Homo-oligomer: A and B are copies of this chain.
Amino acid sequence: MTELTTTSYAILGLLALRDHTTYELAKQMRRTVGYIWPRAERKLYDEPKRLVAAGYARSVRDMVGRRRRTTYSITPAGREALTRWLGTEPAPPALEFEGMLRVLFADQGGIDQLRRSLQAIAAQAAARRAHFADMAAGILATGGEYPHRAHVNALGMPFMTAYFDQMAAWADWALKEIEGWEDTTSPARTWAARADDVFADAARPHDTPPPRRS
C-alpha cells in the first residue's frame, strides 16, 4: 500500500464524527462532502479497507437478516493522522466545468446550442443551490445531526451558496448578453465594444461583496 490520498482523509474525517457503514458513507458523500470532494460510490467500498490496513480504522461485520454489513470506526492512530493532515498545505481547488468548455468553443456551433448550454448551466446551478438551501433550512429546523459541529458547517455554507448563486447569475447574465446575437461568430464585430468592457472590468481586480450577513 502506498500512502493515503485526500480521499482517504475525506472518509477518515467522516469516521471521526461517528461510526459509518459503507452505505452511510455513500449517503454523506452524496449529501455533503461530495460537493467538495466528489468521488464515485465505487471508491467508497475500497477506500475504508485501506484505512483499516493502515491502522487508521477498524471494521466490524454484522448481519441484517442474511445480508452482511460492514461498519467502520476510527482508531486513535486515525485521529492523529487526520490532525496531522489538517496541518499540511491544501491542494489548490480544481474545477471541472464542461458547460464552460461549450461556451468557450461556442463559435464552432450554433447559437441555439450556446443558448441551451447556458440554460443547462443555470438549471444545474439552481438545483444545487436549492439543495444547500434545503440543508440549511433542515439544520435550522432540527438543530442538525451534529449540533456540536454547527460552527464549522456554518463556516463553509456561505461559500457553497455564493458559489452556486454566482454560477446561476453568470449564466443568466450570459443568456441576456447573447439575446441579440444572430449567430456565434459575427458578435466578434457587433459585440466587440461590450467585450472590451468585460476585459477592462476583469483586468481591474475588485472586491465582490462578502457573503451576505443579515
* A157 and chain B: residue at smallest CB distance: B202
* Inter-chain contact B203/A101, CB cutoff 8 Å: no
Q: How far is the CB of A126 from chain B (nearest CB, A)?
A: 8
Nearest B-chain residue to A34, judged by Cβ: B94
Asked, given contacts A158-B201, A202-B133, whether A10 binds B101 with beta carbons under 8 Å apart, the answer is yes
Report whether B113 and A86 are in contact in the complex, using a CB–CB cutoff of 8 Å.
Answer: yes
Q: Which of A95, A202, A209 has the most CB of B within 10 A?
A: A202
Given A155-B177, A165-B206, A105 contacting B82 (CB threshold 8 A):
yes
Q: Which residue of B lies closest to A118 (CB)?
A: B155
Take A157-B202, A195-B150, A212-B201 as given contacts and tell me if A9 and B101 are in contact as well, using a CB distance cutoff of 8 Å: yes
Q: A147-B188, A169-B208, A212-B206 are in contact. Are A152 and B201 (CB under 8 A)?
A: no
**A201-B188 in contact (CB<8A):** no
Q: How long is the Cα–Cα vector from A11 to B110 in the complex, in angstroms? A: 19
Q: How far is the CA of A136 from the CA of B198 in the complex (A)?
A: 9
Interface residues of A in 148-196 (CB under 8 A from B): 148-163, 165-167, 169-170, 172-174, 177-178, 184-185, 187-188, 191-192, 194-196
Residue of B nearest to A151 (CB): B187
Over the window 108-152 of chain A, the binary record of Cβ atoms lying under 8 Å from chain B Cβ atoms (1 yes, 0 no) is 111001101100110011001110111111011000000111111
| Cβ–Cβ contact A93 & B124, under 8 A | yes
Establish whether residues B154 and A195, one from each chain, have CB atoms under 8 Å apart when the complex forms.
yes
Is A208 touching B173 in the complex (CB atoms < 8 A)? no
What is the CA–CA distance of A136 and B38 in the complex, to the nearest angstrom? 31
In whole angstroms, how far apart are the Cα atoms of A136 and B95 in the complex? 20
- Which residues from B are CB-within-8-Å of A90? 98-99, 101-102, 117, 120-121, 124
Q: What are 8 sample pairs from A and B whose C-beta atoms fall under 8 A apart?
A: A16-B105, A38-B95, A86-B109, A87-B110, A87-B113, A93-B124, A104-B152, A154-B199
Q: A83-B110, A154-B195, A165-B206 are in contact. List 7 more A-B contacts (CB 8 A).
A: A83-B109, A86-B113, A87-B110, A105-B152, A107-B148, A155-B178, A198-B213
